[in-house]
Amino acid sequence: MPASSWHLAKAPPDYYVPAFKIIFIIFSCRRSDTHLLHKTTYLFSLLCLVSFLPPPPVQFSPQFAAVVQLQCFHYASVRHIVPSRSPCGFRSSGMGASGLCWPALLLLVVVALALPPAAAGDHDFRRDFDVVWGQGNARFRDGGREVELSLDERTGARLQSKRRYLFGRFDLEIKLVPGESAGTITSFYICTGGARHDEVDFEFLGNASGEPYLLHTNIFSDGKGEREQQFALWFDPTAGFHTYSILWNPHNIILYIDGTPIRVFRNNAEHGVPFPASQPVHVFASIWDAEDWATQGGRVKTDWSKAPFVATYRRYNVTNACVWEEEEDEGEEGGHGGGGAARCSTAMAAVGGVRRREASWMAQKLDWWSWMTLSWVRMNYMVYDYCDDRRRFPSEFPPECVIPIGRS
């Protein structure tokens, strides 16, 4: 895939996706209406072909392309091309749709139309964060609802949340440095600190003017990192704001862009893979100089004549998280004391047939639709995966690499 893929036409809005999904399933279910199917076959076949091209002539969002590709496989199964089972419950042997098809479709319509957009929550960067580095390079706008972090030859800037959290969903909208950004890194991450720290990173590696950013992700658990995955983006992250999210619960860590899952790290502690589950984290946002490695392995250096480099953050949302309540101990360095407890917002949920209080995000995993989208992103936009790097791991890959990510 060419690195400049985000220069292609703008992707359809994400709210188109449920509608397209519904339309395609209707086409699949109404097999008896052969006239309708024949009239849509050519358009549908074209969509199938275009969605698989690397990259497509007309750029699709990952959700939309995953919809098309999923329904292509289903349509092929109905046409006796591949053995499969359709979403409506009928087999490829030529039988009509079962009675479960239309109730399932109705449920899909209701769910698709009922899903609201993510709320930004009540946020104020001045209230919720401390500027722990580069005081003069953090400028608060719009009453604290937006902050600009800048990098110059003197220093960068870093924000640290005043609160700590043990599990949560962390959302932040970012507009990256436009134009020349080689050597810079704009980041959003959660981290515990300490030698055996846990950390989850979004790091955007700057590039020369006209070239796209590279998204560098990494996950540390119990002080061990080196779990890098890198992605090209399907949009221009400097042209507007996009939402980057970290979902962290006892089951998995999932990274999202605009609601699209791009990476999952499962809790495989039972297989000897440490998983962050006991240390509370701060939330960080920063911009800094890393010209020794950020752009093309350090071959392209920072052009300080283009400074200051400015990234903008807004709509910080951490309403779905467990706040760590400190037990202060003046004898402990740093003021965090020797312990604390997590306070989580909860709701009644049925788990294993027993109703108990549990926040829905605490039990969230990737469903089949999210796995489809994740697979599409990995296939089309992942440019580096440590689990495929034989030069780094000539004899044996890390244990999490040999455990199928779709299996608990």
Residues that are catalytic? 199, 203
Pair 237, 261: CB distance under 8 Å: no
Per DSSP, the three-state class of 368 is helix
Residue 39 CB partners (closer than 8 Å, separation 6+): none
DSSP string for residues in 31-52: TT-HHHHHHHHHHHHHHHHHHH
Provide the 3-class DSSP secondary structure of residue 173: strand
Spatial distance between the Cα atoms of 20 and 68, rounded to a whole number of angstroms? 8
Signed CA dihedral, 379, 381, 386, 389: sign only: positive
In this structure, are residues 30 and 37 in contact, taking their beta carbons and an 8 Å threshold?
Answer: yes
- Cβ neighbours, 10 Å, residue 364: 16
Q: Kindly tell me the sign of the dihedral angle through the C-alpha atoms of 351, 357, 359, 362.
A: negative
Q: Which residues of 39-76 are buried (b: 16+ CB within 10 A; e: fewer)?
A: eeeeebeebbebbeeebbeebbbbbbbbbbbbbbebbe
Q: Are 147 and 313 in contact (CB under 8 A)?
A: yes
Work out the number of other CB atoms within 10 angstroms of the CB of residue 244: 21
Q: Could you tell me the maximum CA-CA distance found in the chain, to the nearest angstrom?
A: 79
Start-to-end Cα distance in the chain = 31
